[in-house]
Amino acid sequence: MVQTKTAIKPIVINPIGVVQVSDEQGKYCIEVLPEYREALMQLEAFSHVMIVWWADKHDNDKDRSLLSTELPYAPGVKAGVFACRSEYRPNPVGITTMPIMAIDHAQGIVTLPWIDAFDGTPVIDLKPYMPSSDRIRDVKVADWISDWPLWMEEAGAYFASHQTDFGC
């Protein structure tokens, strides 16, 4: 196979909104910026949304240069960042799939039951969860997470009962 070198153009990513989190108030939502609120049209026709966010607290040379990490949920296991969901990666992109609880189109608010991003985290995209594109019937996972639930709806109770296992 012959490899050709082509110039890769720089990528420009524009935040479309921001994560709003208040654990005290039980508030978890995405605020979409006014110039992108039209893009929310018909999102309420879906039960779940995939939130693509920028782990800005890890957007630094040190964290971007880490290519492997010790897994907090698997003591003694080190994995490459492409084999885990760590924020330490060449591009600190996070993805979370959540149920949509409500959408306020005028205010640009997508209300969620929870999100694994910090308050103020930039959101770079929202995509509807579509089973025909996003769900896989036969999957293989690493041994270190083989006892994790297969479905999001079961994950909350599992992780709550295993908090100390994950360094939480």
- The confidence score (pLDDT) of residue 64 equals 96
- The confidence score (pLDDT) of residue 168 equals 29
Using CA atoms, how far apart are residues 98 and 153, in angstroms rounded to an integer?
A: 10
**CA distances in angstroms from 119 to 48, 116, 138, listed in the order given:** 20, 10, 35
Q: Which residues contact 105 (CB under 8 A, 6 or more apart)?
A: 37, 40, 41
Q: Which residues contact 157 (CB under 8 A, 6 or more apart)?
A: none
The answer to whether residue 32 scores a pLDDT higher than 90 is: yes
Kindly calculate the radius of gyration of the chain based on its CA atoms and give it in whole angstroms.
Answer: 18
State how far Cα 54 lies from the chain centre. Answer: 9
The answer to whether residue 160 scores a pLDDT higher than 80 is: no
**CA distances in angstroms from 159 to 32, 67, 111, 163, listed in the order given:** 29, 26, 22, 6
Kindly report, residue by residue over 103-124, the tens digit of the pLDDT. Answer: 999 999 999 999 999 999 999 9
Superfamily per CATH, domain 13-55+92-131: YaeB-like (2.40.30.70)
Structural domain spans, the chain: 13-55+92-131, 60-89
Q: Which residues contact 126 (CB under 8 A, 6 or more apart)?
A: 16, 17, 30, 32, 39, 40, 43, 49, 50, 51, 52, 110
Kindly report, residue by residue over 73-102, the tens digit of the pLDDT. Answer: 888 999 999 999 888 899 999 999 999 999
> pLDDT-derived band of residue 167, with 50, 70 and 90 as boundaries?
very low
| Residues counted in the chain | 168
Mean pLDDT, residues 144-159 taken together: 79
Using CA atoms, how far apart are residues 114 and 25, in angstroms rounded to an integer?
A: 12
> What percent of the chain is modeled with pLDDT above 90?
67
Tokens 């290519």 correspond to what residue?
A: 67
